[in-house]
């Protein structure tokens, strides 16, 4: 998912996003991801579209790297060693911080990005050296908030 959340998250109105599905995903898998995202991000979007691409994701020892279409469409590279940790070699993690509609998460693993880029569409962007994070969420149908009207 790439996009611009806008300047004020508190209003529940976000600017735009593109949800990209891996080419190997079935219709049922895409429908499931769309349903989950509607609950994970219970917001309204000014513009929400979908796309398709080939995705890769590697969580390596020194960096985490994700690409779409080999980096032609999008790329995120997070540097695991760039954050000033108390214990060298261990990640910096912020715990007990809510992430949108997810009821639980394993913490925000902080990293500096080497590159964060979305290179297609009418609003491409590229940033280097800004903050980044990884997070694993837990969401289920019993405890999740209702989806907002701007879902997929």
**Using one digit for the tens of pLDDT, what is the confidence trace for 114-128?**
999 999 999 999 999
pLDDT 10s digits, 42-75 = 999 999 999 999 999 999 999 999 999 999 999 9
Assigned domain for 148 exists: no
Assigned domain for 143 exists: no
> Which is it for the CA torsion 82, 85, 91, 95, positive or negative?
negative
pTM of the model: 0.86
Total domain count for the chain?
A: 1
Assigned domain for 105 exists: yes
Q: For residues 104, 10, 117 and 21, what is the CA-based torsion angle, rounded to 10 degrees?
A: 60
Domain that holds residue 46: 2-138
Assigned domain for 71 exists: yes
Can you read off the two tokens belonging to residue 15? 């600017």
Assigned domain for 107 exists: yes
Assigned domain for 30 exists: yes
Assigned domain for 144 exists: no
Q: Residue 40: which pLDDT band, with cuts at 50, 70 and 90? A: very high
Q: Residue 11: which pLDDT band, with cuts at 50, 70 and 90? A: confident
Q: Of 47-56, 79-88, 129-138, where does mean pLDDT reach its minimum?
A: 79-88
Assigned domain for 152 exists: no
pLDDT > 60? residue 110: yes
pLDDT recorded at residue 145: 74
């Amino acid at each position: 998912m790439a996009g611009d959340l806008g300047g004020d998250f508190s209003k529940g109105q976000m600017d735009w996003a593109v949800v990209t599905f891996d080419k190997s995903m079935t219709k049922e898998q895409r429908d499931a991801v769309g349903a989950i995202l509607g609950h994970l991000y219970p917001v309204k979007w000014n513009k929400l579209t979908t796309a398709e691409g080939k995705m890769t994701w590697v969580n390596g020892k020194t960096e985490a790297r994700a690409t779409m279409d080999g980096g032609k469409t999008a790329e995120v590279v997070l540097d695991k060693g760039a954050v000033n940790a108390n214990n060298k070699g261990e990640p910096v993690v912020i715990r007990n911080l809510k992430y949108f509609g997810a009821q639980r998460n394993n913490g925000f693993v902080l990293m500096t990005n080497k590159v964060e880029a979305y290179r297609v569409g009418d609003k491409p962007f590229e940033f280097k050296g800004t903050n980044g994070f990884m997070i694993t969420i837990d969401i289920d149908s019993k405890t999740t908030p209702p989806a907002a009207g701007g879902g997929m």
